[in-house]
């Protein structure tokens, strides 16, 4: 019997590139790259100086196994087309084709050789409900070319199909975390196949923004996932607590009712369109937004919260970057900030709607006016809502890791978006095109300016170094100390890149008097 390591080594040694045209998909032609995976051969394309393989299948169709762990794909004969993105997961507000057959990943590499390059696997944002690996901002060509790395983005099951906890309603025990299990399956694909694409399966960095970052830290708390990656980074991705099983059950039951299902078995057979329509119902616990599905403390796959009551000791050896933007809530306050109609009279009501930390708004406003007497009501709304809603979770993650002595670095993006005179500041998601060196992409809101391009180069190089060595220091970057509770060193990415100790200290202390909580979690 051939053991798995021997099999992988043999597959990696197979010829990876061929000149072929038979069976080529749209855009393919003579000279397009063909790679060999464990399941079959795939044909990609040449893109901006690198090789791109889009829509590669890492898992089988999930429709026959709705709410259950996905299976690896069946082997195929011939050459599969990998020149176009695969379907995204079913979701509300979809902007691209969707299907339950959605387990596809996209890969960019400088070459199909024995380069043993670091591998950077990205989890997209969109909470646990939206998004895909096909975002133009996360196109990996520029990053792969710049850093001589392999870049991967992926799709996985979302919302109710990926995170509805049905175990207490007679459903599968793993149902509350099958979206995370999809990512585990993708990481197993990376382990078994990436050497054929010039990557090093022993240097895998898992990183993500927003909900993608939340999934990264959740996977750090999952025993099944931890051996599959070696460094990690979160970009505005906080997940202090997963959903508790009782709250998750309430949401799942409500979803079933909205879909018109009388049992989990019936829910598993309904048309997916009906399930998606039911997901859009107002969340029964938070009483706003659509139903909030997220990773679940199921006591089997996820046996603890990601960062409560502390950081997982088992993940202390995984180096982690924790990042946030200076003005996270600018993205949600965009219309308000651009109208410029926040006044001292309506500021308390507007700020109260944005707070997670329960600190009296009148006290908060008075303190901000004392700290920053020249700021307008709109500027205080932006600053206080960020400090009282989005920033605390990132601090908790860094602090919990520091308490263990785990290698952790913290950054803050201060570079403001130029639109509307910069009133939105450095808002949530603005770091995505910078890390991917995609500030030139039309969808990037950083502006295609020399300053943005310089900062993109700096942030991309920093993440590449981290993937390569497990330490972000080097190049022209100022010395970046690890985050500690006494110093709180934070890299400030702005027009002038610098390190500050305990930035926004007074704001941090203002909100430190109240606990962080997620309603209905």
Taking only the tens place, the pLDDT of each residue in 252-306 is 999 999 999 999 999 999 999 999 999 999 988 888 889 999 999 999 999 999 9
pTM confidence score: 0.92
CB 213 within 8 Å of CB 128? no
Kindly report which listed range (18-32, 98-112, 187-201) carries the lowest average pLDDT score: 18-32
- Tell me what the mean pLDDT of segment 322-345 comes to: 96
- Tell me what the mean pLDDT of segment 192-221 comes to: 97
pLDDT tens per residue, range 469-482: 999 999 999 999 99
> How many angstroms separate the CA atoms of 445 and 299, rounded?
41
Q: Which CATH architecture has domain 313-506?
A: 3-Layer(aba) Sandwich (3.40)
Select the more confidently predicted residue: 22 or 305: 305
Q: Among residues of the chain, what percentage have pLDDT more than 90?
A: 88
pLDDT at 282: 92
pLDDT at 393: 92
> How many angstroms separate the CA atoms of 483 and 502, rounded?
10
pLDDT at 521: 53
CB 210 within 8 Å of CB 390? no
CB 359 within 8 Å of CB 510? yes
pLDDT at 468: 98
> How many angstroms separate the CA atoms of 321 and 179, rounded?
23
Checking if the pLDDT of 29 tops 90, the result is: no
Average predicted confidence (pLDDT) for the chain: 92
- Tell me what the mean pLDDT of segment 451-459 comes to: 97
Q: Are strands 104-109 and 50-57 parallel, antiparallel or unpaired?
A: antiparallel
pLDDT tens per residue, range 91-119: 999 889 999 999 999 999 999 999 999 99
Q: Which two tokens stand for residue 99?
A: 């299907």
> How many angstroms separate the CA atoms of 60 and 71, rounded?
6
3-state secondary structure of 405: coil
> How many angstroms separate the CA atoms of 226 and 229, rounded?
6
Q: Among residues of the chain, what percentage have pLDDT more than 70?
A: 93
Checking if the pLDDT of 15 tops 50, the result is: no
Residue ranges of the domains in the chain? 313-506
Checking if the pLDDT of 1 tops 50, the result is: no
Q: Are strands 489-493 and 408-413 parallel, antiparallel or unpaired?
A: parallel
At 518, the pLDDT band (50, 70, 90 cuts) reads low
- Tell me what the mean pLDDT of segment 412-430 comes to: 95
């Amino acid at each position: 019997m051939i053991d798995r390591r021997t099999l992988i080594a043999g597959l990696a040694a197979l010829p990876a590139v061929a000149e072929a045209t038979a069976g080529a998909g749209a855009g393919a032609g003579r000279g397009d790259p063909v790679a060999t995976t464990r399941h079959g051969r795939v044909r990609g394309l040449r893109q901006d100086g690198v090789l791109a393989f889009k829509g590669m299948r890492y898992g089988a169709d999930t429709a026959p196994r709705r709410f259950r762990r996905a299976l690896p794909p069946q082997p195929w004969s011939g050459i599969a087309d990998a020149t176009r993105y695969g379907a995204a997961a079913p979701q509300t507000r979809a902007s691209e084709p969707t299907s339950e057959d959605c387990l596809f990943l996209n890969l960019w590499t400088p070459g199909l050789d024995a380069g043993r390059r670091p591998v950077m696997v990205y989890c997209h944002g969109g909470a646990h409900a939206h998004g895909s690996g096909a975002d133009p901002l996360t196109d990996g060509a520029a990053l792969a070319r710049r850093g001589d790395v392999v870049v991967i983005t992926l799709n996985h099951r979302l919302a109710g199909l990926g995170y509805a906890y049905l175990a207490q309603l007679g459903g599968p025990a793993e149902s509350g975390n099958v979206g995370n299990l999809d990512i585990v399956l993708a990481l197993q694909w990376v382990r078994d196949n990436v050497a054929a694409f010039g990557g090093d399966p022993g240097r895998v960095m898992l990183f993500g923004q927003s909900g993608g970052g939340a999934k990264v830290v959740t996977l750090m708390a999952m025993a099944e996932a931890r051996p599959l990656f070696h460094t990690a980074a979160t970009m505005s991705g906080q997940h202090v607590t997963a959903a508790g099983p009782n709250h998750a059950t309430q949401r799942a039951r409500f979803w079933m009712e909205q879909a018109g299902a009388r049992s989990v078995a019936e829910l598993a057979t309904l048309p997916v369109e009906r399930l998606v329509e039911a997901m859009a119902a107002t969340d029964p616990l938070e009483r706003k937004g659509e139903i909030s599905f997220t990773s679940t403390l199921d006591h089997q796959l996820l046996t603890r919260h990601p960062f409560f009551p502390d950081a997982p000791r088992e993940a202390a050896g995984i180096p982690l970057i924790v990042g946030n933007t200076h003005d996270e809530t600018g993205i949600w306050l965009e219309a308000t900030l651009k109208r410029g109609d926040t006044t001292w009279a309506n500021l308390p009501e507007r700020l109260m709607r944005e707070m997670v930390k329960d600190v009296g708004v009148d006290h908060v406003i008075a303190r901000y006016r004392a700290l920053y007497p020249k700021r307008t009501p709109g500027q205080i709304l932006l600053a206080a809502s960020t400090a009282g809603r989005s920033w605390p979770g990132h601090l908790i993650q860094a602090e919990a890791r520091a308490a263990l002595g785990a290698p952790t670095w913290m950054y803050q993006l201060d570079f403001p978006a130029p639109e509307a005179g910069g009133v939105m500041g450095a808002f949530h998601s603005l770091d995505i095109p910078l890390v991917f060196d995609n500030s030139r992409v039309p969808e990037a809101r950083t502006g295609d300016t020399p300053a943005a391009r310089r900062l993109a180069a700096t942030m991309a190089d920093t993440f590449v170094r981290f993937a390569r060595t497990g330490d972000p220091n080097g190049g022209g970057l100022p010395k970046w100390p690890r985050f500690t509770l006494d110093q709180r060193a934070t890299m400030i990415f702005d027009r002038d890149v610098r390190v500050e100790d305990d930035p926004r200290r007074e704001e941090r202390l203002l909100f430190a008097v109240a606990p962080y909580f997620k309603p209905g979690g």
